[in-house]
Amino acid sequence: MPKMRYVILQQHQELQFVEMPEEYAYQLSALNLRLNKEIDKLTADNVPDLPKAIAECDSLELLREDYSLQSGLDYINVLESAFASVQEKKDYPLISLLTEIRALQAQLEQWYEEEEEGVH
């Protein structure tokens, strides 16, 4: 069984719990910090409202039914879709943010495929 880490995100008063393969959790946290730093530079009308990474942990037991785990791949797919739909008005290099998101997305897709095939 692969080792997983959990990235805890906060959006307003809501918490999100994202389950990531251990070797990619830091990348998600770092990507989140970068996106939150750069998002104010976007001039589009439909800029995504991003949660902020607030913690990472090795184990997580959710005690309330109103919270659930989201797979890292599901989370990154939603994130990619949100940024792909942004219609930037100025020359801000939105493509560089999308490239970072898509790089992690591709790594996670490969990781999950290998897990299904039992490569690890």
- What confidence tens digit (pLDDT) does each residue in 86-108 have? 887 776 678 889 999 999 999 99
Tell me the residue ranges of DSSP E strands in the chain.
4-11, 14-21, 52-57, 69-71
Contact 80, 104 (CB under 8 A): no
Strand 4-11 relative to strand 69-71, pairing: unpaired
- What confidence tens digit (pLDDT) does each residue in 56-81 have? 999 999 999 999 999 999 999 999 99
Chain mean pLDDT for the chain: 92
